[in-house]
Amino acid sequence: MTQVKLTARDLEVSFGSRRLFQAKLLELHQGDVIYLQGDNGSGKSTLMKILAGLMQPTKGNIEAVGFATDAWWQHNPLLGKAVYLHQHPYLFDGTVEYNLNYGLSFNAEAKAKAKQRTAQAIEMAQLGSLLHASASNLSGGERQRLAIARAWILQPKLLMLDEPTSNMDKDSQALVLQMIQQLKQEGTGMLLSSHQNCALTAICKQQWYIEGERVLISPQSIHTAPIEGSLYAVAH
């Protein structure tokens, strides 16, 4: 099976006369775990949305390998392949259970597997007591746990996690870390943003850093000062 891969070349994002950032070459492969760092307003969320097919860059080309079609934006081949999770995730009207089951394929072949994986997600995210609660009534941490559990069920090839633990207490952070670590073991490629190092960023082997309107990289670990180069971080 072909591995999913995104390659962005000569990327530039501007809003009016203001250039947010540019990058010569970025690659995100299935199996990569990359830490995206930058100040507020530097463009972390924008970069994630572009790579997830939710926004178009001002300039540049993005190629997708391993998807149903090679066209990246027009046919949105990332739909169902890549998931972008905002720090304030969008949830559908309805119960927690409805949100967990939304979008699942329940054909005869997949039904048993989906049911088993959903049960696992409910247990890992500790959502059992909230299944019949309205998603709109959840706390910030509960909403984030639900959104990550929903993504975990779908087993995305690529996952963009935008400040995934920003609204969570330590117990919720531990639950999310468990789910993300398992996705990593299953080969999901992840781009993870955070304002500071934490247990989640510790599992990253690569780093992208947005500074001075450019995407910089660290060639070895997230503790190494970023340098400007090919803009693709090679795992050490």
**Ranges of each domain in the chain:** 5-218
Between CA 121 and CA 113 the distance in angstroms is 12
Confidence of residue 212 (pLDDT cuts 50, 70, 90): very high
**Cβ–Cβ under 8 Å, residues 67 and 81:** yes
pLDDT tens-digit series, residues 106-148: 555 567 788 899 999 999 999 999 999 999 999 988 999 999 9
**Cβ–Cβ under 8 Å, residues 218 and 227:** yes
Q: What is the mean pLDDT of residues 56-66?
A: 88
- Which among 184, 121, 112 is positioned nearest to 148, based on CA atoms? 121
* β-sheet bridge partners, residue 215: 210
Tell whether the model's pLDDT for residue 167 goes beyond 90. no
The CATH homologous superfamily for domain 5-218 is P-loop containing nucleotide triphosphate hydrolases (3.40.50.300)
**Cβ–Cβ under 8 Å, residues 151 and 144:** no
pTM above 0.85, yes or no: no
